[in-house]
Copies of this chain bind each other. A is one copy, B any other.
């Protein structure tokens, strides 16, 4: 019996400005049906405020404390350790790190920096890491979908720096187990009765399974035929969030 539902955003609820058909009504049914709903994203091209605005503009009903972002998790992780990060992040979220001392950095944060991923910045990140600075990444996301294009995401660049500096990144978002645990801890439901719904078979589905949650892969967003064959473990693959919510509600009937 599913007690709470963790929903990835892009590719599950919407693609850019287009709502996945039926998604608004499905989220509404889930919340009215007694499921504890959380929104959980590695997206790092928008601030938390902009994400909330975007969701509400698309008519999703979402409260501040239902939204969990990898960017927030990165802030916390760096703050707890009192680090001075070199932030390889998108200009749209640079302000989220404005209150950190960033001169003489002793840590590296890699989010989806988009055009910030240039040789100069990547080289500097590498030089810090090979000298021992901890590397923090939002997630191992390989790519995301934008319109009809797939675009490189932060994971590729995190892997590049890990390889060059022989370092291992701390992943503060999905598929990091701590991130899932933090979200689950905000609900009254144990992990085993929590269902993660996502379009990324690695970050969303495999990550959730490794954190002992249940998981469901949707065939929307970045999903590509055969993705469900890429990992092992027990999970459902469904057409969209509409079917995922039906599954969760049916488990309570």
Query: Would you list which residues of chain A between 111 and 129 have a CB under 8 Å from chain B?
Result: 113-120, 122-123, 126-127
> CA–CA, A127 to B144, complex, Å?
11
Number of interface residues of A (CB under 8 A): 31
Cβ–Cβ contact A156 & B150, under 8 A: no
CB neighbours (8 Å) of A114 from chain B are 119
Determine the chain B residues whose CB is within 8 A of the CB of A119 once the complex forms: 113-118, 152
Q: Which of A76-84, A160-168, A178-186 contacts B (4 or more CB under 8 A)?
A: A160-168
Contact A164 B149 (CB under 8 A): no
User: How many copies of the chain does the oligomer comprise?
Assistant: 2
**Residues of A that sit less than 8 Å from B by CB:** 113-120, 122-123, 126-127, 130, 142-143, 149-153, 155-157, 159-161, 163-166, 230
Contact A143 B159, beta carbon cutoff 8 Å: no
Top 6 nearest A-B pairs (CB, nearest first) are A156-B164, A160-B160, A156-B160, A142-B164, A159-B163, A117-B119
Check if A156 sits within 8 Å of B152, measured CB to CB: no
Residues of B within 8 A of A152 (CB): 119, 122-123, 126, 160, 164
**Cα of A166 to Cα of B229 in the assembled complex, Å:** 13
Which B residue sits closest to A202, measured CB to CB?
B166
Give bound CA distance, A122 to B114, whole Å.
11
Given A115-B119, A150-B126, A142 and B163 contact (CB-CB distance below 8 Å): yes
Instruction: Determine the chain B residues whose CB is within 8 A of the CB of A165 once the complex forms.
Output: 142
**Most B CB atoms within 10 A — which of A120, A123, A164?**
A164
Closest-CB distance, A39 to chain B (whole angstroms): 25
A77 to B24 Cα, complex, angstroms? 52
Q: Which residues of B contact A123 (CB under 8 A)?
A: 151-152
Could you say which residues of chain B place their CB within 8 Å of the CB of A153?
A: 164
Q: Which of A152, A155, A161, A230 has the most CB of B within 10 A?
A: A152
What are 21 sample pairs from A and B whose C-beta atoms fall under 8 A apart? A113-B119, A114-B119, A115-B118, A115-B119, A115-B120, A116-B119, A117-B118, A117-B122, A122-B156, A127-B149, A127-B150, A130-B143, A130-B150, A142-B163, A142-B164, A142-B165, A156-B160, A159-B159, A159-B160, A159-B163, A166-B230
